[in-house]
Structure 1
Amino acid sequence: MAGATSVAVITWVTRLAGLLTLVSVLVPAGRRTLRGHVAEWLELPNEATVGAATVALVTGVLLVMLAAGLKRRKRRAWQLAVAAAVLLTVSHLGLRHVLGAGLVSLALLIALIATRRHFIALPDPVTGRWRAIRVFLQLALAGIAINFTLLSIARALDPLGVGDRLLQSVLALVGVSGPAVFHAMWLEDLSAAVGLLFGIGAVLLAAYFLLRSAEPAPELTDDEVERLRALLGERDSLGYFALRRDKFVVFSKSGKAAVTYRVIAGVALCSADPLGDPEAWPGAIEEYLDVCRRYAWTPATMGCSELGATVWARFGLEVLEIGDEAVVDTATFTLEGRTMRGVRQAVSRTKRAGYTVRIRKAEDIPAAELDELRALAATWRGTDTERGFSMALGRMGDPDSVLVTAEHDGGIRGVLQFVPWGEKGLSLDVMRRDRSADNGVNELMISELLLTTPAQHVSLNFAAFRAVLEQGQRIGAGPVARLSARTLRFFSRWIQIETLYRFNAKFQPRWVPRYLAYPAARDLPRVGVAVFEAEGLGGRSPLLLRALQRV
């Protein structure tokens, strides 16, 4: 990308300027120098210059925050960085404070102006200056109100009028002394601490909302869903999951291909392959990458096929194999033979216990029963949130889906939902069972479907890093392979890695590799957070996300 080197240099110089500023304020020698020169230049008492130190401290933190926005070429980050660089240059050089930090700030200012053409990314769709202004005003007014109340009820200071109390409260936000004369040091310290806490918090949180990677709430329209349905074909078993409502979509100019994605932590995360004619995929990918460039989002796709990974690689993305999808060909599936002994025994055991299986299209199930199945599936889920993104539709009872239920003593004890894979296949979406049900219920439901369905192939669960697990178990496996397999087994205590692999392997599937495409190795941590959060496996704290959404 044009200007990549310049942007990288600007990013690191911004970080350096911010860190030097923080050091100059936080290190005692630098702090004394700053106060002395400010006092001399403004002819103020030395004690009054804590405000200058506060401004420098906040500006240093802002520069460190701005570096992330500059790395993503955000225009708003560039504008704020220019303002901060001007302020720091005047502070350090004009006040003869710290020469090194001043020269770095001046160099940063010149570099920012010289490279302004590279910072063109727009603010994220749902993040605007109004939210930042609102947050700033809320915190600033809260700090003023608390200090005003404190000054009104405290007795350890000379009497103050309403105007003087208000002035003192406002000045406390930047650490400057006002007209108040305190008789107790603890009260003066408390007032200053409250003011600085809310003042610094107002500036930093406002900057965060100006610069953060927002996550616009996606919602496919009915028209977009119909256009996507028209692009579904036989090739990709995960294509139907593109109809999740919590996604955005971009179409190629020809309308023959589309890419769906969701924005998480600054990553525009796609799943599976683009929909439509593979010949038209490049056009849809170009449209998607153009959106990513416009908003400085990190492009990434998970669960794409080998063909899809090849196409993404042509656009400069790195590709990593992340596991295999288990696909069973129904024409060759059987419960006979030594390799199927475990499944055969589980099926026989549950049948003897009185379990029966029903296989129906969702559109043939009464609405009341569908509601019951949804409620049971939610109860049996075992987590507060629905898991899945690349291989999950996110809704139960879709009209095109096939539902498999296991019943015992008149009650439903397990349910599977499969979605269409073109006209000749099915893909597993939901697999739930009552935890008090007998072991083998899932094996019974899957086997009955495989033996009776007219579908030619059925996609089961995804097995993450299957090849790593298999290689680590082979005789003669090297130390790296064994260590990798042991690491995956360790994490399987919290994430079903080995468990899903072993369950899938029971049905003797053919393994279809799936890949992750991402821009560069340095983007993997951010992409990893987005993937884990999308799949419901972790990521950022839900409590923090809910708090930020309410602001």
Structure 2
Amino acid sequence: MVPERVRRILRGPRAESVPALVGTACTFIGLIDIAAGVFPRFRHSRMHALAEVLPGALGSFAAALSLSAGVLLLLLAHGLKRHKRRAWRAAVILLPAGAAAQFAYRHSVVGVVLSLALLALLLRHRSEFAALPDPRSRWKALANFVLMGAGSIGLGLVVVSAHPGRVIGSPSLTDRLEHVLFGLFGFEGPVGYEDGVDWTVGYSLGALGLLTAVTTIYLALRPEHPAATLTPDDESRLRELLERHGGRDSLGHFALRRDKGVVFSPSGKAAVTYRVVSGVMLASGDPIGDVEAWPGAIERFMDEAKAHSWTPAVMGCSETGGQVWTRETGLDALELGDEAVVDVADFSLTGRAMRNVRQMVKRIERNGYETRVRRARDLSDAELDRIRRAAGAWRGTDTERGFSMALGRIGDPSDGDSVIATAHKADDGEAGPYGDLKAVLHFVPWGTDGMSLDLMRRDRSADPGMNELLIVAALQASPRLGIARVSLNFAMFRSALARGEQLGAGPVLRVWRGLLVFLSRWFQIESLYKFNAKFRPRWEPRFVVFRKTRDLPRIGFAAMQAEGFVTLAVPRPFRRRTPRAPRPCAHIRPVAADEHEARAA
């Protein structure tokens, strides 16, 4: 009878662990091959014998091939870990080629057998490598050229400096850099070597240059597969769902962003909108539509994530949404923060709790400011254009922020139910580029009797308190507009901040609150919570849904990219930029909560 341990060894690794195993092996061998190609003594060490089980064994015969193979293996490893079909195809082609080279040059039967064994493992578990390519564009070719070029120059400097005992003279850093740049293009540089080392260095630099050129050309010429966008038909179907079920979630209207993709349930009664960022399939808010049809839309979402090997995640879903997501998918949920919701019927400026807001509003009104709160459809085209230009100029960042809680447009004809609150002040004959306009708030519909704050922008030269003034004006005008509830900013980790400052809070909670206060210097966590609390809202918890705890850093980084807090996109040199207003004087200190985009931090 064969022992259980032996049977497990004979069966090999589990199918689901093969991609991670092969990807890790490629990473390890790739690093060995790079070291073998750069440092001549390392090529003869016993450690490099491990590299013979993969195509990196070519580095035993030529430093240039070892170097380029190592870089290719590092590039290939991530795709194998993500179950990518094209990465599998590349490995299947590369493994037998490496095995043939080993047998032809060194007659290494062991290396050939191990390479073919790994090939057999990939062929046996080919069904594990079925993920489709990610959305892409040709801008990635330029990004590849910049990153690979920089990496090749850095690695080339190491190659040029790896033979100190055989260098003729004492070349400076400038000479070595010039030698690298010439070598990447296949020309001889100013640094000389003894004993034929110049051939090894020259081939290595040429291989790096060729690798950079080939990968860039491939990315530039391959068919473009742009990121998903919301088609007019998809938008029409989503609007129909929002008309029937839009009152459920205050974030529902933000699903109409046109830079999102969408999957519908088989019945068409529910949908999930998303964006793919850095391999994360990021949904926001609750599914749109009938709650009973949510499981069908969620299943389609998970199938799409599996087909591309994307990491599924949901940002800012409600408690009900989080329960459905976790029940239907087995994912986990973590409280992310709270949404501030004001019931219009309960709002009043009277009372001690509203004293600061009341005094600020009265002071601003005495300074000559007036407010106007109207539906977007009631504004003229000229006024909408002026508001759009002002909002763009008053934006505090170069990129438009927002994803889960921002619409990304103002005054679109299809968004006529949106509410725009503006603050005005006569400029005493010195009208600015936007006339008497000093601040703008934009709200999107929340069902038939609610609205959600989209953005807050103000002229930095205006008096402090513009946001408070306009929020109060919007709340006071809500009964006239048929609005019963207003969703304000989203406050991250609100409960931790609130409990951490209470009497009797434990040491762990106090430390956590202290860390959040420290991070507020950059991300406006505490200031946004305190700004929301001024209006005495009720707090609705919001959650992040994720698959594994180790995915949280990746999901957080992808969310920051989607929200515009981290920009990794290739710059477009000919993109038209919106004129920016001049920076304020040093004595004008912006209010921390002026930029509404921080709600989605």
TM-score range, shorter chain: 0.7 to 0.9
The answer to whether the aligner puts 1:13 opposite 2:13 as a matched pair is: no
TM-score, normalization: structure 1? 0.80
Partners of 1:225 and 1:55 in 2: CA distance: 51
SS of residue matched to 2:345: coil
Q: What does the per-residue CA deviation read over 1:322-361, in whole Å, with 9 as the maximum and x for residues that have no partner?
A: 1110000011011111111111111111111111111111
The answer to whether the aligner puts 1:241 opposite 2:269 as a matched pair is: no
Asked if the contact 1:262–1:268 (Cα under 8 Å) also holds between the matched residues in 2, the reply is yes
Match of 2:545 in 1: 517
Asked if the contact 1:215–1:263 (Cα under 8 Å) also holds between the matched residues in 2, the reply is no
> How many Å apart are 1:311 and its aligned residue?
1.4
Question: Superposition pairs for residues 16-415 of structure 1, below 5 Å?
Answer: 16-32=28-44, 52-91=62-101, 95-96=105-106, 105-126=115-136, 195-203=206-214, 205=216, 216-232=226-242, 233-314=246-327, 315-397=329-411, 398-409=415-426, 411-415=436-440
In structure 2, which of residues 547, 568, 571 is the aligned counterpart of residue 541 of structure 1? Answer: 568
Q: What does the per-residue CA deviation read over 1:210-249, in whole Å, with 9 as the maximum and x for residues that have no partner?
A: 99xx983333222211110111121100000001111111
Partners of 2:517 and 2:261 in 1: CA distance: 35
Match of 2:599 in 1: none
Match of 2:170 in 1: none
Quick one: structure 1 residues 338 and 210, their matched pair in 2 at CA, closer, same or farther if it must change by over 3 Å? farther
SS of residue matched to 1:231: helix
Structure 1 unaligned spans of 5+: 38-48, 140-171
> How many Å apart are 1:58 and its aligned residue?
1.8
Partners of 1:434 and 1:173 in 2: CA distance: 51
Code of the residue aligned with 1:332 in structure 2: it is: D
Asked if the contact 1:24–1:98 (Cα under 8 Å) also holds between the matched residues in 2, the reply is no
Partners of 2:513 and 2:216 in 1: CA distance: 43
Asked if the contact 1:51–1:174 (Cα under 8 Å) also holds between the matched residues in 2, the reply is no
Partners of 2:38 and 2:319 in 1: CA distance: 53
Partners of 1:7 and 1:102 in 2: CA distance: 21
SS of residue matched to 2:315: strand
Asked if the contact 1:62–1:204 (Cα under 8 Å) also holds between the matched residues in 2, the reply is no
Asked if the contact 2:334–2:544 (Cα under 8 Å) also holds between the matched residues in 1, the reply is yes
Match of 1:459 in 2: 487
SS of residue matched to 1:493: helix
SS of residue matched to 1:492: helix
Asked if the contact 1:385–1:536 (Cα under 8 Å) also holds between the matched residues in 2, the reply is yes
Match of 1:165 in 2: none
Quick one: structure 1 residues 26 and 100, their matched pair in 2 at CA, closer, same or farther if it must change by over 3 Å? farther
Code of the residue aligned with 1:79 in structure 2: it is: R
Match of 2:515 in 1: 487
Partners of 1:383 and 1:409 in 2: CA distance: 27
SS of residue matched to 2:522: coil
TM-score, normalization: structure 2? 0.74
Code of the residue aligned with 1:283 in structure 2: it is: G
Partners of 1:347 and 1:311 in 2: CA distance: 42
Q: What does the per-residue CA deviation read over 1:25-80, in whole Å, with 9 as the maximum and x for residues that have no partner?
A: 4443342579xx9xxxxxxxxxxx99822222222222222221112111101111
Count, aligned residues: 493
Quick one: structure 1 residues 131 and 495, their matched pair in 2 at CA, closer, same or farther if it must change by over 3 Å? closer
Structure 2 unaligned spans of 5+: 1-13, 50-58, 150-182, 428-435, 576-601
Q: What does the per-residue CA deviation read over 1:443-489, in whole Å, with 9 as the maximum and x for residues that have no partner?
A: 11111211221211100000011112122212222222222222222
SS of residue matched to 1:391: coil
The alignment's C-alpha RMSD in Å is 3.6
SS of residue matched to 1:494: helix
SS of residue matched to 1:292: helix
Quick one: structure 1 residues 206 and 491, their matched pair in 2 at CA, closer, same or farther if it must change by over 3 Å? farther
Partners of 1:492 and 1:209 in 2: CA distance: 41
Question: Superposition pairs for residues 412-431 of structure 1, below 5 Å?
Answer: 412-431=437-456
Code of the residue aligned with 1:218 in structure 2: it is: A
Quick one: structure 1 residues 334 and 98, their matched pair in 2 at CA, closer, same or farther if it must change by over 3 Å? farther
Code of the residue aligned with 2:515 in structure 1: it is: T
> How many Å apart are 1:373 and its aligned residue?
0.6
Quick one: structure 1 residues 337 and 198, their matched pair in 2 at CA, closer, same or farther if it must change by over 3 Å? same
Partners of 1:183 and 1:311 in 2: CA distance: 66
Quick one: structure 1 residues 27 and 183, their matched pair in 2 at CA, closer, same or farther if it must change by over 3 Å? closer
> How many Å apart are 1:174 and its aligned residue?
11
SS of residue matched to 2:18: helix
Partners of 1:291 and 1:486 in 2: CA distance: 40
Partners of 2:193 and 2:437 in 1: CA distance: 70
Partners of 2:92 and 2:512 in 1: CA distance: 47
Quick one: structure 1 residues 94 and 491, their matched pair in 2 at CA, closer, same or farther if it must change by over 3 Å? farther
Partners of 1:173 and 1:386 in 2: CA distance: 39
Partners of 2:192 and 2:454 in 1: CA distance: 67
Code of the residue aligned with 1:17 in structure 2: it is: I
